[in-house]
Structure 1
């Protein structure tokens, strides 16, 4: 019985000590338990000014190729034409560069599969077109 009473007293003291925080200590606790971020909808001005996205300069065709395209176009995975394979790219080049750009941006499923933008959703259309141009240039 004495152990239970001592445990109950200890629990009460711990609970009371939480209310005995100074204003400074309470402010420190509140700052540590703040949410990591806020969700603001367009037109909601309570979150502060809009922040521009970090993007930097456009990526070169080679950068896009190395970052997103070479996984398939270096090995021929999924029927992708290999960079440097003149015959494979020659057939495709006959369709015209506009068609190749369109297939790269929108995706193409014929023999194998070309997902939209080669799954580089952070790439602009211009960057994807530059990657196609890079692959064509290196497959002559």
Structure 2
């Protein structure tokens, strides 16, 4: 082989290598660059605060103890009994007197209002104190006892 053909072959190889690098740089530059929008006046950007996008699904409001005391006169003995006492006293569970059964309530009513309320507040036999709801006030328990007793033939 002649020196001229060797030189030509070497130059062709150099041009191919350099051309490949230049071509790769051009392709990478075009692929990663952002094209400018033709009309920037139509582009709308909304900047909303992040708090608007990150809101809880629900909010729980817990009543304060003072709010419960203010509303205790509004809550009737019936509502308290329906929410707390009817589970056992509605079905007679664990030998509890059923609401409305005067035969079961008669001996209890005969003990007197204070005794009935005391038993309900402090618990008696299988009944836990305040029917198992320690958040009830003594007045609320008393209202529920009076309502149940009156529904069962008493007049407290």
TM-score bin (small chain): 0.5 to 0.7
Is 1:69 matched with 2:82? no
Is 1:126 matched with 2:142? no
- 1:114 offset after TM fit, Å? 1.2
Of 94, 97, 102, which residue of structure 2 is paired with 1:78? 94
- 1:121 offset after TM fit, Å? 1.3
Which residue number corresponds to residue 102 of structure 1? 118
Tell me how far apart the structure 2 counterparts of residues 116 and 107 of structure 1 sit (CA, whole Å). 4
- 1:97 offset after TM fit, Å? 1.0
Tell me how far apart the structure 2 counterparts of residues 132 and 122 of structure 1 sit (CA, whole Å). 16
Which residue number corresponds to residue 128 of structure 2? 115
TM-score between the two structures when normalised by the length of structure 2: 0.53
TM-score between the two structures when normalised by the length of structure 1: 0.59
Tell me how far apart the structure 2 counterparts of residues 107 and 91 of structure 1 sit (CA, whole Å). 17
CA RMSD across the alignment: 1.7
Number of residue equivalences: 88
Q: For residues 87-134 of structure 1, give each alpha carbon's deviation from its aligned partner in whole angstroms, at most 9, with x where no partner exists.
A: 11001011111110000000001xxx1110001211100000000000
Tell me how far apart the structure 1 counterparts of residues 137 and 91 of structure 2 sit (CA, whole Å). 24
Runs of 4+ in structure 1 off by over 4 angstroms are none
- The runs of 5 or more residues in structure 2 that have no matched partner are 1-49, 51-63
SS of aligned partner of 2:71 = coil
